[in-house]
Structure 1
Amino acid sequence: MVSQINPTTKETSGNFIACLTEQNAALAKVLTIDATDNSLMVSSDIQKDIVKCFAYEILHSIIGDIGHDMFCLLVDESRDVSCKEQMVVILRYIDNCGLVKESFVGLVHVKETTSSNLKSCIDYLFAKFKLSLKQVRGQGYDGASNMRGEFNGLQSLIMRESNTAYYVHCFAHQLQLVVMAVVRKHTSIGNFFSMISTLLNVVGGSSKRRDMVRDFNLEEMRKTLGCGLLKTGTGLNQEQYLQRPGDTRWSSHYKCLKSLVDLFPTIVKVLEFVETEDRDGKNIE
């Protein structure tokens, strides 16, 4: 939301100005009562600059707490809704008060998820923050081969530079994997999710069919909006997509089934297209 200030009353509206002023009375006075008419702070460039300054100060404080002490490195990478691979970096350390902290220090777009590329991105962040891999005393990742690989995984690449940076497989992921293994022992549940996986491969296995899901869903949404069956408003009727279940996140199975229910009419149309016009698979792309 863009913040605005009433030039007459100097009253603010919007989340941005509210976040700036609610914790600091002096800043609130400058931005409201004593603010000039041309100091409305509604420019996106100005607001982004202020956010960047806040981020810099927070990171500077985190790095100052660590100093030359030891810390643990927590890394995970995932694809966002725009299919862009993102790597998140978190540092776990003990602050000056003796409290254990886990602080988010960076979100990096990675073009490849290979261990060497992830290592290069971490090296870049460490150089930027003036940290050394020699300070790392632990690594926490998921069980993907590019992360835990004994010879060429990210953990092995870091251990070559810091042999005390011991790797620990994420306990939450281990628990999720155990739950999945137990669930799959139940034949009917295992068969059910196998069918769901096949359905997702058929409906969302190509860019063409994914575009069809998007177009059909948009058409259905327009019809229901025209009939007054859907409410309109901020944050409502967002673009939907098929969620794939993941073995390390049990909640993803719920999201998968929910997306199938929400997009059921659309999925039926795509399956009808596959049955009548795309049987030979020549129109996959």
Structure 2
Amino acid sequence: MAAQPQQTEGEQGASSGSAAAASAIIPEDPALWGSITESAREEMLCKGLAAFQHWAGKYPASRREEKSGNARSLTNDALTRHLHNGECVPQEWIIYSPSTGEIYCFACKVFSTHHGAFIVGFSDWKHPERITEHDMSAEGQYWKDVLKHVVAVIKFLSERGIPFRGDNEHLGSSHNGNYLGILELLAQFDPFLMDNFQKHGQKGHGSTSYLSSTICEEFIGLMGEKTKQAIATELQRANYFSVIVDSTPDMSHMDQLTFVFRFVSETGKVAERFIGFEPIHSHTGSSLADCVIKMVSDLGLDLSNCRGQAYDNASNMSGKYNGLQAQLKKNKPLIHYIPCAAHSLNLVGVNCVENCCREASQFFYLLQALYAFYSASTHRWNKVFTGNITLTLKSLSSTRWSCRGDSTRALRENYAEIRGALQMLASDNEERQDTRREAAALCNKLGKLETALTDVFWDTVLHRFKLTSNGLQQRDMDLMTAVCLLESWHLHYIAKRAIC
């Protein structure tokens, strides 16, 4: 390499001197590279492949051919790959050494730790087909390395339930989602991945990059299928199993059936495995039964080994004559139906209170009104729920009745603070008139003795109700324990009523 001319001016001399020192680290002749450090590898990638190619019109005989007395040398025809469709594509991965007359694979020379022909130098011009063979194998290995990064990111996001997509799929955009965002983060510390982004990223439809959402979804599907096969193997080893099924619409309003299988593992522990969602187009018992039978068959299981089925209390699921449970028991009478105990307990709470007791309905309406009033403004919320207060008001759930215990407990523990804040808001002339009027009405209701007594009563009931409901939903819950839980809850309140 030619020596760099010295500069006379201080700033230019310093800049040029540092550049000359950097360029002296990496010889342009690949035969002179020797051991490649990480800093040298980064500089090679920054310089780019073209800086080391040394392609020319004619090439002298290589060092190997000169020793053997032959005059063979590299030809430009060897630098081109002829595809089956007749197209000629330059094999840009080839770099040439002027000192030895040999060629190297840039990617293998820079990244590989092996000692193949295209790393130590290739000059067997009698067999030029080996160049094309290496091109195909190197290309395959290159994309395998790219896919290893892609698969690692997909596994990371999937295991943690983190969303993949963003508003777009543009590299460099802050709104391209977690999938591309993590790949870009890795590329900052991985020269190989950064080089792939620069070469193949954002080339448009039809070009290969393996970074698109299509590839991502294919891998998610493959991983999901592999997981399903692993679960199927567990179920087959267990032999006997139970099915838990429920229907629910997704965000696109498509109804689907949720499948969970319950079995005893080889270690003797109760296991539950979620299998997936299956779209359904009919809610009749026979249609749902066909869906369950198909799922069991697809997993390679025998429906005759099914010993239990558990659903909610909807008529199409639990119906004695035409429900899903009845349809399955027609052919397999050993598939005993057990209604979901937690769901049944929830229905007891709803029907015994909201549909039968007006005073209880009015109390829970007050709880929801308190939550709506305070949550509508951070100013109001901070007047009560700050400092050491840990329990806060919650919005009442229409499906999980036991969750109302959180609100009754929050009101019971913070009763004085909640009522005191309402009094302050009702008398504060700086507040809006409708705010003062609403605060005064709520404060008046909390000032009644029956409201305080009702809160204490329902907090006691719902606290135990919630503990029972949570216990019934435990994965290792068995029938005997579930029955004992329900009976103890029932007997507990019979005893309390007798004492009162």
Smaller-chain TM-score bracket: 0.5 to 0.7
1:115-171 CA-partner distances (Å, limit 9, x unpaired): 111111112222221222111111110001111111111111111222221111101
Q: Does 1:15 align with 2:186?
A: no
Match of 1:129 in 2: 299
Cα distance in structure 2, aligned partners of 1:93 and 1:31: 46
Residue type at the aligned position of 1:138: G
Match of 1:44 in 2: 213
Structure 1 residue runs without a partner (length 5+):
7-12, 195-244, 254-285
Give 3-state SS (helix, strand or coil) of 2:338's partner: strand
Match of 1:216 in 2: none
Deviation of residue 33 (structure 1)? 6.9
1:237-278 CA-partner distances (Å, limit 9, x unpaired): xxxxxxxx75x533899xxxxxxxxxxxxxxxxxxxxxxxxx
| Pair 1:81–1:131, CA change in 2 (3 A) | same
| Pair 1:51–1:180, CA change in 2 (3 A) | same
Cα distance in structure 1, aligned partners of 2:260 and 2:358: 39
Match of 1:250 in 2: 401
Deviation of residue 29 (structure 1)? 7.5
Deviation of residue 15 (structure 1)? 2.7
Query: Is the 2:306–2:334 Cα contact (8 Å) retained in structure 1?
Result: yes
Match of 2:288 in 1: 118
Match of 2:313 in 1: 143
Deviates more, 1:157-166 or 1:50-59: 157-166
Deviation of residue 98 (structure 1)? 2.4
| Pair 1:170–1:14, CA change in 2 (3 A) | same
Residue type at the aligned position of 1:187: R
| Pair 1:55–1:193, CA change in 2 (3 A) | same
Query: Is the 2:304–2:332 Cα contact (8 Å) retained in structure 1?
Result: yes
Cα distance in structure 2, aligned partners of 1:155 and 1:138: 10
Residue type at the aligned position of 2:271: K
| Pair 1:95–1:15, CA change in 2 (3 A) | farther
Give 3-state SS (helix, strand or coil) of 2:211's partner: coil
| Pair 1:145–1:30, CA change in 2 (3 A) | farther
Structure number with higher strand proportion: 1
Match of 1:260 in 2: none
| Pair 1:143–1:52, CA change in 2 (3 A) | same
| Pair 1:34–1:130, CA change in 2 (3 A) | farther
RMSD over equivalenced CA pairs, Å: 3.7
Q: 1:186 aligns with which of 343, 351, 357?
A: 357
Q: Does 1:53 align with 2:238?
A: no
Deviates more, 1:29-38 or 1:169-178: 29-38
Deviation of residue 191 (structure 1)? 7.3
| Pair 1:18–1:174, CA change in 2 (3 A) | farther
Q: 1:177 aligns with which of 347, 351, 356?
A: 347
1:153-211 CA-partner distances (Å, limit 9, x unpaired): 111111122222111110111111121133223214547999xxxxxxxxxxxxxxxxx
Q: 1:153 aligns with which of 323, 329, 337?
A: 323
Residue type at the aligned position of 1:133: L
Cα distance in structure 2, aligned partners of 1:52 and 1:31: 27
What aligned pairs does 1:189-200 form with structure 2 within 5 A after superposition? 189-190=360-361
Cα distance in structure 1, aligned partners of 2:241 and 2:190: 40
Query: Is the 1:71–1:92 Cα contact (8 Å) retained in structure 2?
Result: yes
Q: Which has the higher contact order (CA 8 A, sep 6+)?
A: 1
Residue type at the aligned position of 1:54: M
Equivalent pairs counted in the alignment come to 194
TM-score (norm 1): 0.57
Between structure 1 and structure 2, the one with the greater Rg is: 2
Structure number with higher helix proportion: 2
Residue type at the aligned position of 1:249: R
Cα distance in structure 2, aligned partners of 1:32 and 1:56: 28
Residue type at the aligned position of 2:358: T
1:11-56 CA-partner distances (Å, limit 9, x unpaired): xx85336889xxxx9xx97984785743754311101100001101
Residue type at the aligned position of 2:178: N
Query: Is the 2:317–2:324 Cα contact (8 Å) retained in structure 1?
Result: yes
| Pair 1:108–1:70, CA change in 2 (3 A) | same
TM-score (norm 2): 0.34
| Pair 1:86–1:19, CA change in 2 (3 A) | farther
